[in-house]
With several copies, the nearest count.
Chain A
């Protein structure tokens, strides 16, 4: 088992004829992901190394039975592509695109929240890897192996770092889910932690947060009330100066709330162990799993 992506995934890639879109669609297919279609308006009827391209998501879904979408179009087109994927009946939309305007994200999130049977991951995320089963996105899969640790993270490269430290300690992953660092993520820590809690293969959950917002604090409350599996957390940004935006739109510190210290304390208060470095986080996870 794994969460969200796996052997049942039938992937349609929006923006498949772009340079990066082609590269990662093929990369995902090479890993074993069932890439059934691509969408690029005006290029319907073409193919990308055998993957059929359609003008619309509706045509792609009708023809290929796609159930998962990866959004790889520039920010200017991404909100529209997400909405189109939902309208065409896609159940899981994974938006890699970085730099989508915040008000677009607001509209998309609120609209999708009124529709049933659709889940959005991202935007501005590295995607989801279920080692040995499927890879949807840009996570460098060769650094991870199958295992029993579920990872959920707001940051892409930080996820790789933690996953890599775990791999060095000898542990693999059920799934690695990047939820992205944007102001309005489609799925929250809570959404993904709930999936890992229900996933029989996952024995321990690692969540990697960062300064800004209150998603980690909300996750702490949720974990205390609903999660039986051990959770280990890491928070980036302990030494970030207040009032500065650091890269991710999410990573801004204002006043006391939203600081790494506040987040770590909120998590520890609910029994979640928090590592101070990626290395220490992996060590704690390894300790628990070896106990």
Chain B
């Protein structure tokens, strides 16, 4: 789960990381009101989960109320790389002496958090990494030992931060690490981390990704999910507990198990088709879950055909068949379905489907055959 900038800053503030004061707004009136409260100059910032907001015109300084109004009008509703701006964050303008970069990522290979610090903040860190790898100080933290004072000092000295801010930089890294662990984040990134004219250290931006699997332990974070920023179909899938990713094509895909679904998408693509989604019905899906998943797939008007690719382990093929039959009873789909059932209770599943004799549902024996069939159907070659 990705947080918006201001949600990330509020999370930081809970762990003692200094952030500029600000207020969120979803309308121009709210934004102007917020700007008045905060005072001028202030900054109007588009709240979307995508980089490059500044270049796209999504971050503007307002010197007075009139500018606050103009900027919030311009930014609200703006499209930034496919993300519509539904919300803005109005914050006090900062006095920036230096722009640094700090982040903590969950490093799978090392099985440890990786902490990074650079004095070359304010720009794309991938570019910095490419141009001058030594400009980024990095170290792994033993998760059982935790972040030690020496970690902070070492990063600060190795990144070459100004001498007078070695201690405050080390301290803010310790607090970011605390936030990373306490909130169970997968990523915490601050770019820029600024040194103010008064030599204070502030997080001027915040990119935080939380672990969805841990949200049950953090109800206050779970409540942050921002429906306005999600695709309606993805939101629908999410509410139904399905693992769903929207894609560009016209063939709806349902499978059980992430690897099998990814493989199905590959095979369909290789057969010349274009998948409309990734949908993992998950292990042990019952009939209702299948019915519910069909509704999600068909909520995409681009879908011209649907492929069910099931290899049952925990998932039982008879339950999948029952779910599909129920879906047809409820929503009577007009697009063709190709269904391949193997694994647990496959014989029973195939029998149920055959008996139901659903219109335009094509059984296939193999994954490859099923993929070829659904591509044909989507292209209208066969019916």
Do the two chains belong together in a single complex? Answer: yes
Q: Could you tell me which A residues sit within 8 Å of B by CB distance?
A: 20, 41-42, 44, 55-59, 75-77, 80-81, 83-84, 87, 98-104, 106-107, 109-111, 113-114, 126, 138-140, 143, 153-161, 164, 181, 183-184, 208, 210-211, 213-215, 218, 234, 236-241, 244-251, 255, 260, 276-279
Collect the chain B residues with CB atoms within 8 Å of residue A213's CB.
108-109
Instruction: Give A100 to B158 CA distance when docked, in angstroms.
Output: 28
A-B pairs with the 7 shortest C-beta distances? A155-B259, A247-B258, A157-B257, A158-B259, A101-B214, A84-B150, A157-B260
Contact with A along B126-159 (1 / 0, CB 8 A): 1000000000000000111100111001100110
- Give the Cβ gap from B374 to chain A, nearest Cβ, in Å: 15
Shortest beta-carbon distance, A252 to chain B, in Å?
10
Residues of A with C-beta under 8 A to B245: 241, 244-246
B260 touches A158 (CB 8 A): yes
Q: State A58–B157 Cα separation when bound (angstroms).
A: 10
> Can you name 18 A-B residue pairings with CB atoms under 8 Å?
A41-B166, A42-B166, A55-B157, A75-B213, A101-B184, A102-B211, A106-B106, A138-B314, A143-B343, A157-B259, A157-B313, A183-B106, A208-B259, A239-B266, A246-B243, A246-B280, A247-B243, A251-B258
CB pair B266–A277 under 8 Å, yes or no, is yes
Query: Which residues of A are found within 8 Å of B211, using beta-carbon distances?
Result: 101-103
The residues of A that contact B258 with a CB separation of less than 8 Å are: 155, 181, 210, 246-248, 251
Contacts of B143 in A (CB 8 A): 103, 106-107, 110
Q: Given A161-B311, A276-B270, does the pair A246, B153 have CB atoms closer than 8 Å?
A: no
Q: Does B23 contact A (CB under 8 A)?
A: no
Enumerate chain A residues within 8 angstroms of B342, measured Cβ to Cβ.
143, 160-161, 164
> Are A126 and B217 neighbours in the complex by a CB distance under 8 Å?
no
From A59, A103, A183, name the one whose CB has the most chain B CB atoms within 10 angstroms.
Answer: A103
Chain A residues lying within 8 Å of B198, measured Cβ to Cβ, are none
CA A82 to CA B247, docked complex, whole Å: 37
B256 within 8 A of A: yes
A279 touching B368, Cβ below 8 Å: yes
Q: Does B275 lie within 8 Å of A278, measured CB to CB?
A: no
Q: For residue A110, which residues in chain B have a CB less than 8 angstroms away from its CB? A: 111-112, 142-144
Q: Which residues of B contact A214 (CB under 8 A)?
A: 108-109
A241–B185 alpha-carbon span in the complex (Å): 23
Are B153 and A156 in contact (CB-based, < 8 A)?
A: no
Which B residues are CB-close (under 8 A) to A113? 111
What chain B residues lie within 8 Å of A101 (beta carbons)? 184, 211, 213-214, 217
Would B213 and A279 count as touching, CB distance under 8 A?
A: no
CA of A255 to CA of B184, assembled, Å: 24
Say whether B213 contacts A102, CB under 8 Å: yes
Cβ of B144: which chain A residues have Cβ within 8 Å of it?
107, 110-111, 114
A81 to B280, CA, bound (A): 27
Is the pair B126, A138 in contact by a Cβ cutoff of 8 Å?
no
Interface of B is mostly: mixed
- Contact residue among B150, B259, B263, B269 (Cβ-Cβ distance under 8 Å from A56): B150
A255: chain B residues within 8 A (beta carbon): 126
Q: At the interface, yes or no: B254 with Cβ under 8 Å from chain A? A: no
Assess the B214–A103 pair: CB atoms within 8 A: yes
Tell me if B163 is interfacial: C-beta within 8 Å of chain A.
Answer: yes
Complex CA gap A214/B111 in Å reads: 12
**Contact assessment for A239 and B275 in the assembled complex, using a CB-CB cutoff below 8 Å:** yes
- Scoring A100, A138, A157, A247 by chain B CB atoms within 10 A of each residue's CB, the highest score goes to A157
Residues of A contacting B113 in the complex (Cβ-Cβ under 8 angstroms): 106
**Which of chain B's residues have a CB closer than 8 A to the CB of A42?**
163, 166
* CB <8 Å contact, B153 and A41: yes
Which residue of the partner chain B has the closest CB to A24?
A: B314
Give Cα distance in the complex from A77 to B150, angstroms.
Answer: 10
Given A103-B184, A157-B256, A161-B260: A80 and B111 interface contact (C-beta under 8 Å): no
Q: Is B255 an interface residue (CB 8 A)?
A: yes
**A131 shortest CB reach to chain B, Å:** 15
Q: Which residues of B contact A114 (CB under 8 A)?
A: 144
B108 touches A250 (CB 8 A): yes
Of A155, A238, A276, which one neighbours B260 at CB under 8 angstroms? A155
Contact B278 A246 (CB under 8 A): yes
Alpha-carbon distance between A102 and B185 when the two chains are bound, in angstroms = 9
Query: With A and B bound together, what is the CA distance between A273 and B271 in angstroms?
Result: 21
Closest residue of B by beta carbon distance from A279: B368
- List residues of chain B with CB within 8 A of the CB of A98: 283
CA distance A177 to B247 in the complex (A): 31
Q: Which residues of chain B have C-beta atoms less than 8 A from A158's C-beta?
A: 257, 259-260, 262-263
Smallest CB gap from A161: residue in B: B311
Shortest beta-carbon distance, A152 to chain B, in Å?
13
Give the nearest-CB partner of A162 in chain B: B263
Q: Which of A58, A106, A126 has the most CB of B within 10 A?
A: A106
B63 contacts partner chain A, Cβ-Cβ < 8 Å: no
Are A56 and B153 in contact, CB atoms less than 8 angstroms apart?
yes
How distant is the Cα of A101 from the Cα of B343 in the complex, in angstroms? 29
Tell me which of A76, A80, A153, A245 contacts B150 (CB under 8 A): A80
Query: B106 to A102, Cβ gap below 8 A?
Result: yes
List chain A residues, Cβ under 8 A from B278: 240, 244, 246-247
Given contacts A153-B259, A211-B262, is CB(A20)–CB(B149) below 8 Å? no
Q: Quick one: CB contact mask for B352-371 with A, threshold 8 Å, 1 for yes? A: 00000000000000111000
B262 touches A246 (CB 8 A): yes
Nearest A residue to B154, CB-CB:
A56
Measured CB to CB, the closest approach of chain A to B112, in angstroms, equals: 7
> Is B169 an interface residue, CB under 8 A from the partner?
no
**B258-300 interface code vs A (CB 8 A; 1 in, 0 out):** 1111110111011000010010100110000000000000000
Distance between Cα atoms of A276 and B367 in the complex (Å): 13
Distance between Cα atoms of A139 and B315 in the complex (Å): 11
What is the distance, in angstroms, from B307's C-beta to the closest C-beta of chain A? Answer: 14
Kindly identify which residue among B106, B150, B255, B267 contacts A157, using a CB–CB cutoff of 8 Å.
B255
Q: B residues within 8 A CB of A240? A: 262, 265, 278
The answer to whether B269 touches A140, judged by C-beta atoms less than 8 angstroms apart, is no
